[in-house]
Amino acid sequence: MLRSLAIVATIAAAMPAFAQSKGEIDWNRRVLIGHGQGAPDLNAPSVAVARLGAERAAKVDAYRNALETLKGMQVQSGGSVGTLLQNDATLTSRVDGELKGVRPIKTHYYSDGGVSLDIEVPLDDLPAELARAIKVPEGVAPLKGAGQAAGAGGQGQQQAAGGDTLAQVAQGQAAVLNGDKPAAREKAIQDALRHAVEMAVGTKVTSQNEIQDFQSKMDQVFTHSAGFVKRYEILKEGMDGDVVQVTIRAIISNADLDKDLEAMGMLMARKGMPRTMVLIAEQNIGMAAPAAAWMKDKGGQNALVSADLRIAETTILDQLKNGGFRQLIDPEIATEKAAQVGGITTEITASQARKLKSLTGAEVILIGRVIATSRGEMGDLGPGWRSCTATISGRAVNTDNGDILSTDETTQNAAQLDDLTCGKEAIKKASKVFSQDMIKKIAARWSQDVSGGNEIHVTVHKVAGYKQANELKSALTAHVRGVKGVSQRSFSGGTQELDVTLVGSTDQFAQEVEAKKLGKFSVKVTGVTANTVDLELGQ
């Protein structure tokens, strides 16, 4: 019995310090320490994959424990750091960024894939507001930040890059599945980019973050931040067992997306450079109804006057091009093909949108109408001056399913010496504001898609049974790059309906599922659109 007790005591003494406490302050070394642990997923296909998910969970755990320890520190006024952070969102964001920018140390990998690690944050690097407020033990030198001017806190790994940008070094990693190292490398780069933005803007981690299927289900770094990666370079890459590790240096911009053309270019690339078509019917002063060259009767016998019917179209195309849209359908081709489809007015059905896609390759159609009306004379401006107004309304539509990406309506006024010229000027002004608003809204929608993933609908045929349906669902998440989540809508008569949350293009997804052996079966792609994929299961 005594020998058994001695063995237990020896084991307990050998256990790492994190098992005894979640976080601590080491005043001798002047560091804030957070201990983290991550349990492995027992259903993971390999220990390497299980370890990757566990390591991410351990990092989140260590971060939270370090933050909780920091919040518990006493301040000179008698309160706690937690109270200061609760009342200052900006300071909280800076602290989050400081903690997120710290790399793990003392990482320990267990044989079952579990991970434990520590993070250490130099107390002297804390923001000046905290450094001045924190009560240090007797005999300990004040924190370095206490002597800085307000707002001059440490920057961690952030480095000034000039203007409204900063450089951020971050590491990403991903497990190699089925020997597909290129896919793992791509995932590792995306992981590093997310970490770079996360550290730069101090995105919050909440208790809602879950580590599952080796990815963060609630990972919405870009959605919760105003930062965007303008460009990046790979500083280092290598293998750690079956895990690809990549270190990047990213240039982060805090500019609004619509004003940052480099960020918009990267966003468009991640969306597969979607081709865009513009169809706007115009009604200038003196016309009876909105008209366009692609409308069957040009808007009606009485609609046409001697007027240019492409003022709005031309203005919108110019604005889209200046706003980062590079793949624009030529207006002559758009007119010809829209007339060929027939029946299109200032609205479009899902069927018409699909036909236009097959004829032009357009994945987005911006369709609407603009109407200019006279408001009469304006004596204040002088003899003969006329006032007018133009209202434009429209929507951006996904061509493969008719899904509405965004809508907008804008009214602008103008003044000229004759009604027709006045109408043209008002149409130009309204079209410019309308297109700028639409660019913002479409960019916001696509930003959500590339960060949190856009949803595509997958139909699988020849599924032998419910067990096989569940196996396919798991295989898609584990083996196909860009897949962030899979939910099953239905399974009946050998047909499975899935909603797949995907970061990347549908075409890339289709190519990969057909090229790979997914678990115990192979997959044949029988149909693809921008947001749907039809699969047939084989053994």
User: What type of residue is 340?
Assistant: Q
Q: Does residue 199 sit within a domain?
A: yes
pLDDT for 316: 95
Same domain, 293 and 360: yes
| Residue burial 456-484, b: 16+ Cβ < 10 Å; e: rest | bbbbbeebeeeebbebbbebbbbbbbbbb
CATH number at residue 420: 3.40.50.10610
Q: Read off the amino acid at residue 193.
A: L
| Phi–psi pair at 523, nearest 5 degrees | -130, 135
Distances (CA, A) of 527 to 148, 424, 487, 504, 534: 62, 45, 20, 18, 5
Is 148 domain-assigned? Answer: yes
What's the CATH code of the domain at 205?
3.30.1660.40
Q: Is there a single domain that holds both residue 42 and residue 128?
A: yes
Length of the chain counted residue by residue: 539
Identify the domain boundary among 448, 471, 505.
Answer: 448
Same domain, 332 and 439: yes
Q: Shortest CA distance to 174 belongs to which of 153, 195, 155?
A: 195
Nearest Cα neighbor of 205 from 30, 36, 31 is 36
**Which structural domain, as residue segments, surrounds residue 58?**
15-156
Residue stretches of the chain with pLDDT short of 70: 1-21, 87-90, 93-94, 96-98, 100-101, 145-165, 198-228, 253-267, 269-270, 272, 296-308, 379, 381, 401, 450-453, 504, 517, 519-520, 530, 539
For residue 121, give both structure tokens.
Answer: 């944050």
Predicted pLDDT of residue 89: 62
412 in the same domain as 502: no
In contact, 79 and 86? CB cutoff 8 Å:
no
Inter-CA distances, 18 with 14, 61, 93, 116, 137, Å: 12, 11, 26, 8, 23
Give the count of domains, the chain.
4
Strands, DSSP E only, in 226-284? 228-240, 243-253, 276-283
Any domain includes 1 = no
**CB under 8 Å to 116, separation ≥6 — which residues?**
16, 18, 35, 36, 37, 38, 58, 107, 108, 110
pLDDT at 387: 92
Q: Do 120 and 216 reside in the same domain of the chain?
A: no
The reported pLDDT for the residue numbered 365 is 95
491 and 505 share a domain?
Answer: yes
**Cα–Cα distance, 472 to 520 (Å, whole number):** 9
Same domain, 132 and 173: no
293 and 439, same domain (yes or no): yes
Give counts: helices (H), strands (E), the chain: 13, 19
- Judge if 297 and 437 occupy the same domain: yes
Is residue 318 within 8 Å of 328, Cβ to Cβ?
no
Sheet containing strand 404-416, strands side by side: 276-283, 364-377, 386-398, 404-416
Q: Give me the helices (H) in 72-176, please.
A: 81-86, 89-100, 128-133
pLDDT given at position 199: 64
Same structural domain, 73 and 123: yes
One domain for residues 396 and 417: yes
User: Which among 195, 61, 73 has a CA at the least distance from the CA of 119?
Assistant: 61
